[in-house]
A and B are shown apart, each in its own frame.
Chain A
C-alpha cells in the first residue's frame, strides 16, 4: 500500500504539514476559518518534532501498520483496518479512553481534548495525495508504495 514517508534532512521545520492536515480535516477546509472560527479545531494527525531550535526536525506520522497496536488496544472497536490497509478511526465509536495513545509506538494517535476523541491519519480519502505531502515545500514528505518496515 501507499504510505507517507518522512525525509528528515529535507524537513525545514515549517509545520505546514500540520496546517494542511488541520485544514483538510476541518469543516470549512479553509485554514483561517479552521484555526479561528470552528468550534472544535482538528488536531493535526502528523506531528513535527524539533530539537535545538530546529537544527533537527521531522514530521512523524501514522505507519498504517500491518498489525496495528492501536487497533489491538482499542476497547471500543473504533479502530479498524480497511481492505486497502488504511487504519481508520471511527470517531463516533471512539470513547476517548486513550488506549490507542498508550499503544502506538509511533506516537501517531492524538488526543482531541475538546472533542474527547482520539484521532489519527486517514491518508486523506478525498484527495489524490495526503494534504501534508502536497503542502510540504521541500518534498520532505513522500507518498509512495512501501512497507511499514
Chain B
C-alpha cells in the first residue's frame, strides 16, 4: 500500500502512528511545503519571545521518521490532486502516485486586502516557524507593532513581541479579545493582564489603512479615524483551511474539506484531518472546522487507521484551548458562550484580584462547557465528564469547588476508573 500524506504537522503525525498500528510495511510518503521536520507550531510565539530555543522546536524524537519508515519530502508543495489518476502534482512539476491520500495541510493565515499594504516590508503573518524566525530576525529594526486580531494567535504574538521589549497595540474588531474560544469575563481578565504588561488593547475597531512611504510603515489608520504610529504590522485575523490546491479534484470543500466519521472525503481513498478538515462536531452533530491541536491529532489517528483498513470512528470534535498570557493560565472547553435563555444553565465563581474565574455551562443534566482562569488544575476531569456525558445532578453543587475531583462523583465512576479489575464497586 502506498500512502501519501500532504502536510507534516500534528494530524500527519497522528496519521502515521495510526497507519502503523495496522500496517507495518506499507510505504508512507509525507509531503511538506515547509522546510522543517514536524515542529510544535504553537511554540512559535515562545520562540519569538525567547522562552524556547530552536533546539526545542522539533515535535518528535529524532528517529521518528526512520522508525516509522516515513519518506519525508520537505519543500514539496502540492499544487493539485489528480484524483482520477490517483496522483498529486508538486510545484516542481513532479507527480507522486498514491493508493491512499491524506490531506492534512492545516490552515493558511487570512489576510484581507488593506489599503496601503502592498509593498510594505514589515507586514507579517504568524503561523509558521519561518514567520517567527523572520520577525525575530528583524526585531532589531522593530520598535512599535500593531497586531490586527485579538484571538489566540494575535495575543501570543503580542506577548512574544512584548517579551522582546517592543511596544504593542492589539486591534480587535469584536467588542472583546478571545471572543471565539473564551467568554466575556475571561476576555476581560486577560485584557486587564495584557494592559498591565504595557500592551494596548483596542476593541470594536479595525485597521483600514497602513500608512507610510515606499516599503516603510509609519503607522496605521483605524476605522474610528484614530492613527497609531508603528513600524510593523502583524496580521492575525484568523486562519482558513489550506485547501485551494484541491480545486478540480472533485473533493468536496465547504468551509473545510468535508469528511465522514472515518475522515474520508467525498472522493473514496482521499482522507483529510486537522485544521483543513470539516468534521462532525461533538455537540451539534453538524460539521465544522475545529482548528485545535489535540483534535488534529485525534482526526489524524482516525484517518490513519481508516486508510490502513482498520475501523475507528471519530467521536466528534470538542473545542478545547489552553493559553497562558503573562502568567495567567486560561483553559476553555466546549460551549463557552451559550445563548441566553432556558436551554443552558451557567454557574460562575470569580475573584478578579487574583485573576481567578471559573464558569460551568450545563445543558439539562449534562456538562457542556467550562472556562477556567487562574486555577486550571485538573481541568481535564471536566473534559472527561463532557465526553462521557456523565449526569451531573448528584454532584452539581461541587462543580465550582476549587478542589472538585473524583470524590464528588458517584463511587461507581471512581471505581471504574481507578480500582483494580474485579474490584469495582
Measuring CB to CB, which residues of chain A are less than 8 angstroms from any residue of chain B? 5-8, 47, 49-51, 56-58, 60-61, 63, 67, 69-70, 72-73, 75-77, 80, 93, 95-107, 109-111, 142, 144, 146-147, 149
Contact = CB atoms under 8 A, between A and B. Distances in A.
A102 B376 contact: yes
A110 B263 CA distance: 33
A57 to B, nearest CB: 7
Which secondary structure dominates where chain A touches chain B?
A: mixed
A72 B333 CA distance: 15
B389 to A, nearest CB: 13
Contacts of A75: 40-43, 293
**Max chain A CB contacts within 10 Å: which of B324, B381, B406?**
B406
Contacts of A107: 377-378, 380-381, 405-406
B405 A47 contact: yes
A73 B414 contact: no
B146 interface: no
Contacts of B415: 8
Interface residues of B, number: 53
Given A57-B407, A61-B418, A101-B322, 11 more contacts: A6-B419, A58-B406, A58-B407, A73-B294, A76-B59, A77-B40, A97-B322, A98-B376, A104-B380, A106-B384, A106-B418
Interface in B31-63: 40-43, 46, 51-52, 56, 58-61
23 contacts: A47-B378, A56-B411, A57-B407, A58-B414, A60-B417, A72-B14, A76-B52, A77-B58, A77-B61, A93-B56, A95-B40, A95-B51, A95-B56, A98-B324, A98-B379, A102-B322, A102-B383, A103-B383, A105-B383, A107-B380, A107-B405, A144-B420, A147-B421
Interface string B395-425: 0000000010111100100111111110101
Given A58-B414, A75-B41, A77-B60, A109 B380 contact: yes
Contacts of B331: 98, 101-102
B406 A60 contact: yes
Given A47-B405, A60-B405, A106 B380 contact: yes
Given A72-B294, A75-B41, A99-B293, A105 B420 contact: no
What are the nearest 3 A-B pairs in CB distance?
A: A105-B384, A107-B378, A104-B380
Interface in B85-139: none
Given A47-B405, A57-B407, A63 B417 contact: yes
A96 B418 contact: no
Contacts of A99: 293-294, 322
Nearest to A94: B56
Given A8-B419, A51-B407, A95 B52 contact: yes
B320 interface: yes
B381 A102 contact: no
Contacts of A5: 418-420, 423
A29 to B, nearest CB: 26
Contacts of B297: 72-73
B301 interface: yes
Given A60-B405, A76-B43, A107-B405, A101 B378 contact: yes
A47 B41 CA distance: 32
Contact of A146 (B40, B385, B421): B421
Given A72-B294, A73-B320, A98-B331, A49 B42 contact: no
